[in-house]
């Protein structure tokens, strides 16, 4: 009896292992053969089928709107100064995008900044909520960007500048190609390259993949862009670096021509071949050769172990610094929110009970008078 039970267990485990091996090997093979459907838009790009029918919910009462030329930002009044800084940074980035694309970009954009990820859904277009895992989402058909002051899961404060640049690049690319399809690796790679996110981590990932000879082929990324695990980091790093390869100074005019041809309705692969005088396979080969040279020479000169430690150390230091800055930002925003609530509560108490007299300096927390309050029809408002 015991022997029979052991045989059944061994058989079941063998069958499970065989099935998992088949699925593991069949996945990339199907992608290479083109049996999977074409890749979808990036996970932080939302598609609104009927833009004219989309409606934006009203802003919360304590939100303000900052208008500047081609961009407007709506965000909590307590972080108004951060919004003004974002406007300046967005203006500089806008010029850079126009130069890189070889054409004017982004005539008008609305950016809504939520306090938390769950509030993003309250600010999103009706029937088009953002994904729960995203701290930033782009709506190209609406020229809309949603951001959150806290990231999902970690609840850290994300780098709003990088996040905004990433989403603005998605909008700009969609406008530049008039909404025509481009591969997800191109869309995501361009957004990461332009925003400059996590450069040391991407360098280490590319180095590992190059020396380990397990770079993901672009044909695989065309039909199955990874969404989790180590492969997703590799996919993002490769996509951003291949876009950098296409945007080298010597090929800047070719890149602009690529966007113009896609805008005219020419399929991406054909456009890439026409603009660069070479098909994607040859371009990918040249890029891989460049990677081999770039990451193959350095270890021989500096010693592979030393270089790895240096890159890992820089990546870790950058991550720790960003985390400290994020915590400091959250603490500052929380303090400003608390001070604003205290001022409003003190004003409400005075209005409801005038005999109590005006609050003293000890009663009301002191703060910079950058956001004065006025009463109108029994309600208190901020003055901008």
Q: What is the pLDDT of residues 363-376, one digit of tens each?
A: 544 444 444 555 55
Which DSSP state fits 66? Answer: E
Angstrom distance (rounded) from CA 336 to CA 342 = 10
**Per-domain residue ranges of the chain:** 39-176, 181-302, 319-382
CA 238/CA 325 separation, integer angstroms = 28
Give the pLDDT confidence score for residue 153 in this predicted structure.
80
> Which of 191, 175, 183 lies closest to 270 in space, CA to CA?
183
Residue 162, pLDDT score? 96
DSSP 300: H
What is the reported pLDDT for 146?
97
**Assigned fold of 39-176:** Glutaredoxin (3.40.30)
The gap between the terminal CA atoms of the chain, to the nearest Å, is 83
Distances in Å between the alpha carbon of 111 and those of 25, 67, 95, 175? 43, 10, 18, 16
CA–CA distances in Å: residue 150 to residues 53, 85, 120, 295, 331:
30, 18, 10, 36, 12
Q: Is 312 helix (H, G, I), strand (E, B) or coil?
A: helix
Query: What is this structure's pTM?
Result: 0.72
Determine the 3-state secondary structure of 136 from DSSP.
strand
- Please tell me the predicted confidence (pLDDT) of residue 335: 64
Alpha-carbon gap, residue 168 to 175, rounded angstroms: 11
Q: How many CA atoms lie within 13 A of 91 on its CB side?
A: 10
Are 194 and 100 spatial neighbours (Cβ–Cβ below 8 Å)? yes
**CB neighbours of 354 closer than 8 A, spacing ≥ 6?**
none
- Whole-number Å distance between alpha carbons of 346 and 350: 6
Q: In the chain, which residues have pLDDT < 50?
A: 1-2, 5-37, 300, 303-304, 364-371, 381, 383-384
Alpha helices in the chain (DSSP H): 2-33, 80-101, 117-123, 160-176, 184-195, 199-211, 218-223, 229-246, 252-263, 268-276, 280-302, 304-352
Q: Decide if 192 contacts 239 (C-beta within 8 A).
A: yes
């Amino acid at each position: 009896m015991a022997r029979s039970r052991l045989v059944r267990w061994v058989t079941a485990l063998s069958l499970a292992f065989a099935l998992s091996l088949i699925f593991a090997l069949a996945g990339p093979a199907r992608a290479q053969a083109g049996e999977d459907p074409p890749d979808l838009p990036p996970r932080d790009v939302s598609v609104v089928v009927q833009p004219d029918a989309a409606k934006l919910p009203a802003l919360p009462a304590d939100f303000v709107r900052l208008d500047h030329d081609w961009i407007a930002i709506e965000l909590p009044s307590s972080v108004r100064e951060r919004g003004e800084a974002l406007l300046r940074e967005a203006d500089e980035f806008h010029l850079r995008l126009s130069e890189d694309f070889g054409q004017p970009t982004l005539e008008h954009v609305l950016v809504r900044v939520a306090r938390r990820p769950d509030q993003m859904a309250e600010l999103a277009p009706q029937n088009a909520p953002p994904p729960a895992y995203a701290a930033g989402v782009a709506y190209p058909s609406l020229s809309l960007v949603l951001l959150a002051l806290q990231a999902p899961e970690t609840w850290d404060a994300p780098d709003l500048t990088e996040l905004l640049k990433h989403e603005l690049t998605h909008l700009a690319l969609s406008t530049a190609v008039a909404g025509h399809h481009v591969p997800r690796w191109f869309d995501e790679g361009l957004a990461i390259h332009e925003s400059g996110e996590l450069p040391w981590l991407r360098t280490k990932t590319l180095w590992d993949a190059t020396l380990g000879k397990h770079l993901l082929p672009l044909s695989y990324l065309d039909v199955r862009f990874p969404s989790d695990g180590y492969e997703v980091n590799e996919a993002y790093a490769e996509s951003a670096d291949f876009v950098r390869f296409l945007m080298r100074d010597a090929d800047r005019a070719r890149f602009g021509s690529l966007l113009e041809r896609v805008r005219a309705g020419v399929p991406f692969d054909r456009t890439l071949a026409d603009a660069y005088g070479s098909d994607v396979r040859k371009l990918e080969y040249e890029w891989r050769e460049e990677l081999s040279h770039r990451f193959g020479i350095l270890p021989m000169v500096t010693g592979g172990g030393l270089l790895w430690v240096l890159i890992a150390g820089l990546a870790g230091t950058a991550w720790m610094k960003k985390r400290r800055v994020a915590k400091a930002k959250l603490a500052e925003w929380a303090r400003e929110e608390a001070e604003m609530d205290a001022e409003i509560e003190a004003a409400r108490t005075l209005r409801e009970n005038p005999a109590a007299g005006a609050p003293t300096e000890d009663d009301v927390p002191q703060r910079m008078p950058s956001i004065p309050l006025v009463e109108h029809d029994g309600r208190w408002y901020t003055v901008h």
